[in-house]
């Protein structure tokens, strides 16, 4: 199975900050990489697919980049509703696997 890692595991930030989360795959996944946001008690919400494509309705302050084994999710200017946990996941083959998550909380 492809192992997904994320860094950092948590970070503290303020509204307006630029936030960057990285995701690394143990094998080449091309651009078959997606990012999710999850708030406590809620289902994950898809933000980015194909490594860099924004899902419909997702604010443009979210962006994704990378290919192969190294990926980045960037929040251009953190908003109050963005405090949450973020996960990456590959879908290059089965089983799909997820990263352990990066929790973004208030500084």
Partner 1 sequence: EVQLVESGGDLVQPGGSLRLSCATSGFILSDFFMDWVRQAPERGLEWVARSRTKAHGHTTEYRASVKGRFTISRDESQNQLHLQMNSLQTDDTAVYYCVRGYNGLDVWGQGTTVIVSS
Residues at the site binding partner 1, with contacts judged by CB under 8 A: 34, 36, 42-46, 49-50, 53, 55, 87, 89, 91, 94-98, 100-101
Please name the residue that has the structure tokens 């899902």: 55
What is the DSSP code (8-state) at residue 12?
Answer: E
- Give me the least distance between CB of 22 and partner 1, in Å please: 17
Phi, psi angles (nearest 5°) of residue 52: -140, 0
- Give me the least distance between CB of 34 and partner 1, in Å please: 3
Q: Which is nearer to partner 1, 34 or 82 (CB)?
A: 34
Q: Which is nearer to partner 1, 35 or 82 (CB)?
A: 35
Three-state DSSP class for 80?
helix
Note the residue count of the chain.
107
């Amino acid at each position: 199975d492809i192992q997904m890692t994320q860094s950092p595991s948590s970070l503290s930030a303020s509204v307006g900050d630029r936030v960057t989360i990285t995701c690394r795959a143990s094998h080449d996944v091309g651009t078959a990489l997606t990012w999710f946001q999850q708030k406590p008690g809620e289902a994950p919400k898809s933000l980015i697919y194909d490594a860099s494509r924004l899902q419909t309705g997702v604010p443009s302050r979210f962006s994704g980049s990378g290919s192969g084994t190294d990926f980045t999710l960037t929040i251009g200017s953190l908003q109050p509703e963005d405090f949450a946990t973020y996960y990456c996941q590959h879908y290059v083959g089965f089983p799909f696997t997820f990263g352990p998550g990066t929790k973004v909380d208030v500084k």
